[in-house]
Structure 1
Amino acid sequence: MINDTQPGCVIKFFEKKYVDKFINEGELHFSQLGYFIDLENDGDVIADAFEGSRILNLDAANSDIFVSINGKKIDFCEGDTIRIVSVPQWVREKGILSLINLDLIEDFDCIDYDDSRNQYTLKKSVINDLNRLSDNKKRIPVMIDAQKFLQKLDSNFSKYHAEFKNVHYYSDKIEENISLKEFKQKSMETLFLKRDQYAYQREARIGLKSIFETDFKRHSEPRLPSTAQINH
């Protein structure tokens, strides 16, 4: 398994019915990314409808793009943007496992230390964010020994068939969240992109690749965007 991320304090939120299965049998459930994309429409706290998407925010007033309705060209004003969202079907079908990856420096306060040990406590803001993720205590947090967990995954996945990485959070107003060149060279990167309104989740993911996938040439970007949105 490819691992470019240093695991910290790793937490997995489970629905109550899955907790015992994980603790006693080590059972984990990977979900297709499309499942989480569709969840946001139902008001779920963890889901981002733009997950796995390539986002372009175009300056409508200063670009070569135009929009017409019934043959009439729409005039744009300074500051208007056109958002193009592309979500290839093969991205929706990728399997992911979501985890919380807490950083010792960013997410903890050192409250006591001496020559032999340091004592840390979670920051209040982090506790509040974890409470949000529990979805009113419907999800149960379980702490995981990160090193042993990744070693176990390594023994079950070929190096190039799974990847562990922190999610990268990007601004809604960014011109593009991933360039076309990057998308072609590293198409799996879209699995680890999320809008910054979800940064409180401190998420890391394990993304599953198809065992038959070796490079981008197996897929192609859609010629037409999945959705387009005009913002005034």
Structure 2
Amino acid sequence: MSVFITSTDTGVGKTLITGGLAYALRRRGLDVGCWKPLQSGELLHDPTGDAKRLQALGELPDPVDRICLHAFFEPLAPRLAAERAGAQLTRRDLLAHHREAAQLHRHLLCEGAGGLAVPLTADTTVAELAADLGLPLLIVARAGLGTVNHTVLTVRYAESYGLNICGVILSGAGRRGHDIAEAHNPAYIEEYAGVPVLGSIPWLGDTPSLETVRAATDFLADSITL
């Protein structure tokens, strides 16, 4: 069994949580890898890029181009970044690379790019790719004010594609100190979205160490069933 990890927005902490979760699951003896269909904003071997961070956080043995084959420099929506770089990718290309990555591990954490409606290629969005893969969906959402609306909308959009949602993880708690909204958001999300909140990750800073991320996300391995 694998999981598709998406978010309510870009920059929510999806990559840190995916990499940290991979490390925690591997420590528990599971054969887990990571896969990302497209990366924009950094080239493939950039240490601050998503693929390299997934590789480092998860202590993955795989070459970075087996984690994410397609990377583009401009920080734009993946489809636009690819087209401006002269790459004409299709849904078929992404699915082919996923099949290759899936042969490396028994379980795969598939990390999307931004939210579900983000265009990956001219013929597919993140939601459409997730539906093609038929994987349960894990949603990473902000912890603070506004997240109930964003999370409910993401859940409803996912449901319109027939996606099965295994839960929500809140990210960045405590960034602005004591936040009354953060204390109530988990219950409201469960009430209005109808999906479980599996836990909350605190704000870890702008450049957290590998050890900090791994410690903060370790508990999630006991909440995800693979």
| TM-score, normalising length: structure 2 | 0.26
What TM-score does the superposition give when structure 1 sets the normalisation length? 0.26
Structure (1/2) with the larger strand percentage? 1
Using CA pairs below 8 Å that are at least 6 residues apart, which structure has the higher relative contact order? 1
